């Protein structure tokens, strides 16, 4: 008996060693290339950085840089608040939109593959250098402006907006909805991967469940809420995290832009590092808290 146990322990040990061998590239890469820059930038965020050719001098000044970032810098906290509220709004918009599209794409119709391919296209095209270019392309803006002015009289959202505004109820909520609708392009472009993840989730739901519900007299509206929703609730969590991370890490984000400006143009390495660490911590905390609450509502079928 004892011998057998030893043998098992031997196998486990061998497996542990093999496991370490497999992840060795990652460990090496992390230690060699990531740890030092990360620690450096953490240290910079607490110190006064003076650059001279060939060397960098760091002098410990405590949380002064964080004070500068939040209290002295005119834009940072403003940008942060704006960006976070925009992130919440957009993330919800993206989740709803991609869920809706995934539901449609899960149905059977001609040309489904083509539509799926088109929805996924932005994941590939609006990445890297292309992201910033789209924003400040004057000519494109002009064309869309021309289209807008010629179609102004038939703007549905505009008309609705005026009607609902005069009604005067919950103006703020309406405005949020309208902001999402007005920026539907941004949302459609940002939801390629989410749609695919939702689709894969939808396809794992067994058909027999819907059939049983159908026989019991469930309408498809009811089975959407009673079957589809609980069954893919874990996918909602995944998509939420992915969306928030994706939104925060985009390089055309205001806060990231601000950090880049402070770092590259003004060469204030200390405050810039403080800003990025504060931003990173806030986003991580946000993801942690929201996913904690979402995971409470997640239903696991096993």
Partner 1 sequence: MTKAKAKELLKTQKYGSYWERNRASGGYLFKKDVMNFFVKVCRFVLLFGMCFLILQPILNKISVSFMEESDLYNPIVVSIPTKFTAENYIMAANIMQYGKGLKNSTIISLTIAILQTAMCTIVGYGFARFKFPLKKMWFAFVLALIIIPPQAFSSSLYLHFRYWDFLGIVRAIKGEGLNLRGSVLPYYLMSAGCMGLKNGLYIYLVRQFFRNIPVDLEEAAYVDGCGMFKTFTRIMLPQSKPIITSCFLFALVWQWTDGFYSKLFLGGKVLVSTSLANVVDALGVYVARQQGAVNEQVSVSTQLSNCILSTGTLLIIMPILLVYLFAQKAFVESIASTGIKM
- Rule CB under 8 A: which of 202-221 touch partner 1? 203-204
Query: Could you give the CA distance from residue 160 to residue 175 in angstroms, rounded to a whole number?
Result: 11
Which run of H or of E encompasses 57? strand 55-60
Q: Does 266 bind partner 1 (CB under 8 A)?
A: no
Candidates 193, 209, 218, 282; binder of partner 1 (CB under 8 A) is 193
Q: Which class for 156: exposed (0-12), middle (13-18), buried (19 or more C-beta within 10 A)?
A: exposed
Shorter beta-carbon distance to partner 1: residue 115 or 177: 115
Q: Which stretch binds partner 1 (CB under 8 A): 1-9, 88-96, 119-127, 171-179?
A: 119-127
Near partner 1 by CB under 8 A: residue from 1, 129, 169, 215: 129
Quick check: 225 binds partner 1 (CB under 8 A)? Answer: no
Contacts of 191 (CB under 8 A, 6+ apart): 94, 97, 98, 101, 119, 243
Choosing from 181, 237, 286, 290, the residue that interacts with partner 1 (CB under 8 A) is 237
Please report whether residue 133 would count as binding partner 1 according to CB under 8 A.
yes
CB of 180 to partner 1, least distance (A): 14
The answer to whether 212 and 253 have CB atoms below 8 angstroms apart is no
Rounded Cα–Cα distance for residues 195 and 116 (Å): 9
Nearest distance from C-beta of residue 117 to partner 1, angstroms: 5
If the CB atoms of residues 12 and 155 are measured against partner 1, the closer one turns out to be 12
Q: Is 40 in the site for partner 1 (CB under 8 A)?
A: yes
Q: 51 in helix, strand or coil? A: strand
């Amino acid at each position: 008996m004892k011998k057998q146990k030893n043998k098992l322990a031997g196998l486990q040990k061998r497996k542990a060693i093999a496991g370490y061998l497999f992840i060795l590239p990652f460990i090496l890469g992390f230690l060699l290339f990531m740890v030092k820059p990360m620690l450096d930038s953490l240290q910079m965020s607490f110190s006064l950085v003076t650059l001279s050719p060939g060397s960098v001098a760091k002098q410990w000044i405590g949380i002064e840089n964080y004070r500068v970032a939040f209290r002295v810098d005119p834009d940072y906290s403003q940008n942060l608040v704006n960006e976070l509220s925009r992130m919440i709004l957009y993330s919800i918009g993206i989740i709803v939109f991609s869920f809706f599209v995934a539901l449609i794409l899960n149905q059977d119709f001609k040309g489904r593959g083509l539509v799926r391919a088109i929805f996924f296209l932005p994941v590939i095209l609006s990445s890297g250098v292309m992201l910033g270019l789209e924003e400040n392309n004057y000519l494109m803006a002009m064309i869309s402006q021309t289209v807008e002015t010629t179609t102004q009289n038939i703007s549905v959202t505009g008309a609705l907006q005026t009607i609902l505004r005069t009604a005067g109820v919950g103006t703020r909520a309406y405005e949020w909805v309208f902001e999402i609708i007005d920026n539907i392009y941004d949302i459609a472009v940002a939801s390629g991967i989410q749609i695919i993840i939702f689709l894969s989730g939808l396809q794992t739901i067994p058909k027999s469940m819907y059939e049983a519900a159908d026989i019991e007299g469930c309408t498809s509206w009811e089975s959407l809420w009673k079957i589809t929703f609980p069954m893919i609730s874990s996918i909602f969590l995944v998509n939420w995290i992915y969306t928030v991370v994706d939104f925060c890490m985009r390089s055309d984000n205001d806060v990231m832009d601000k950090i880049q400006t402070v770092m590259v143009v003004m060469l204030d390495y200390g405050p810039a590092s403080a800003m990025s660490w504060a931003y990173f911590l806030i986003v991580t905390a946000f993801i942690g808290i929201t996913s904690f609450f979402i995971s409470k509502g997640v239903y696991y079928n096993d």
